[in-house]
Amino acid sequence: MTHLETRARPMNSRAYFITATGTDSGKTYVAAGLLRALQARGRAVRGLKPVMSGYDAAHPEACDAAALLAAQGLPVNAETVAAISPWRYAAPLSPDRAAALEGRRIDVAALTDWCRQQIAAHQDVLLIEGIGGVMVPLDETTTVREWMAALGLPVILVAGTYLGALSHTLTALAALREAGLLPAAIVVNECNGAGVSLSDSLASLAPHVGTIPLFALGRDDAAGLQTLADFLLETTP
């Protein structure tokens, strides 16, 4: 495991890192929804998607970063996508492999420093959306978990309701705890076509997460996203 220097976040920053149990659990839905909800509360909020794979340069409007830009009321084009997502790769693979296919390698120290600069420069709420799940590789020795630990931000863990999501969620939580990361919240997001109900997912998960706040989000759940946004504002120093 690569060692990345861990620093305390700037006191003027209200920043969160949004991660997930895996791809397609709903990170972008939650991040974009929070951006809208926080703006509705009058907050100067910004969203970043520093690393993306599966990026089609001919169609920047189709990527996850585009959803964050649109949620902020910003134009979506190649330049605005690049501004919030500097590390972009074409192959829809883990970022280490997507970068390798292009003869590139993610400089994780540079990635971490870029995020720290964004945190220091922004005076209100900043959301950083990760890529894939907690343990997705960024290079040969570093995963998203080490990136999060180096930034030292409160973590929001997004989980789905598909069959198997409970095990994935508890495994992700164990990995976070092993690195000294305790999520500020776990968000259970109702998946399209899920075979497990939102209520059953919450009932099974609740006894295993201790005092970590649990939030449930249904499809197009603006009210649930507003509740989550208010919680973040109330608990942020």
Answer whether residue 5 is part of any domain. Answer: no
Q: Which of 27, 49, 145, 168 is catalytic?
A: 49
Instruction: Judge whether 49 counts as a catalytic residue.
Output: yes
Q: What six digits make up the tokens of 131?
A: 């890529």
- The answer to whether 201 and 186 have CB atoms below 8 angstroms apart is no
pTM beyond 0.85, yes or no: yes
Residue 1, pLDDT score: 41
Answer whether residue 1 is part of any domain. Answer: no
Answer whether residue 4 is part of any domain. Answer: no
Answer whether residue 93 is part of any domain. Answer: yes
Residue 237, pLDDT score: 53
Answer whether residue 2 is part of any domain. Answer: no
Answer whether residue 82 is part of any domain. Answer: yes
The string of pLDDT tens digits covering residues 33-48 is: 999 999 999 999 999 9
Distance CA 28, CA 187 (A): 12
- The answer to whether 128 and 16 have CB atoms below 8 angstroms apart is yes
Residue 193, pLDDT score: 73
**Smallest Cα–Cα separation from 215: which of 196, 189, 197?**
189
Parts of the chain with a pLDDT under 50:
1-3, 6-12
Domain count, the chain: 1
Query: In the block, which residue shows the tokens 């930034």?
Result: 151
Answer whether residue 215 is part of any domain. Answer: yes
Q: Structural domain of residue 189, as residue ranges?
A: 17-235
Distance CA 215, CA 185 (A): 7
Supply the CATH number for residue 46's domain.
3.40.50.300
Answer whether residue 7 is part of any domain. Answer: no
Residue 103, pLDDT score: 98
Sign of CA dihedral 108, 57, 135, 159: positive
